[in-house]
Amino acid sequence: AQSVTQLGSHVSVSEGALVLLRCNYSSSVPPYLFWYVQYPNQGLQLLLKYTSAATLVKGINGFEAEFKKSETSFHLTKPSAHMSDAAEYFCAVSPNAGNNRKLIWGLGTSLAVNP
């Protein structure tokens, strides 16, 4: 069975500071891993995904994430926060096996960026 844990439901950073949003997963099979972002009053938008290729994945808007199998982690980072990064961020896992493409979602982390 798969599960996702996002540590910290709220993260606050200053503009220009490092953004680090944590995601740990459990999976009995090799996983696909995703980060989605949700801006206010919008749906979810794919930021980046890991599909068993390079462990360091680059996404849109300057975000990247690193798959660390030994730590079962897929933390999201951005070197310098921008005001426009304020949003809700969701980590998700899907089994990299079979035809099941159902996503298991974390509870989300709300990112606030202070001027």
Partner 1 sequence: ETGVTQTPRHLVMGMTNKKSLKCEQHLGHNAMYWYKQSAKKPLELMFVYNFKEQTENNSVPSRFSPECPNSSHLFLHLHTLQPEDSALYLCASSQEIVYTFGSGTRLTVV
Indicate the residue among 43 and 115 with the shorter CB distance to partner 1: 43
- The answer to whether residues 23 and 63 touch, using CB atoms and an 8 Å cutoff, is no
Indicate the residue among 18 and 60 with the shorter CB distance to partner 1: 60
Rounded to a whole number of angstroms, the CA Rg of the chain reads 14
The least distance separating partner 1 from the CB of residue 65, rounded to whole angstroms, comes to 15
Q: How far is CA 89 from the centre of its chain?
A: 6
Q: What letter does residue 95 receive in the DSSP assignment?
A: E
Indicate the residue among 27 and 81 with the shorter CB distance to partner 1: 27
The least distance separating partner 1 from the CB of residue 46, rounded to whole angstroms, comes to 6
Residues that bind partner 1 (CB under 8 A): 32, 36, 41-46, 49, 51, 90, 94, 101-103, 105-108
Indicate the residue among 36 and 63 with the shorter CB distance to partner 1: 36
Residues 115 and 17: their CA atoms lie apart, in Å, by: 10
Residues 13 and 111: their CA atoms lie apart, in Å, by: 8
The least distance separating partner 1 from the CB of residue 4, rounded to whole angstroms, comes to 9
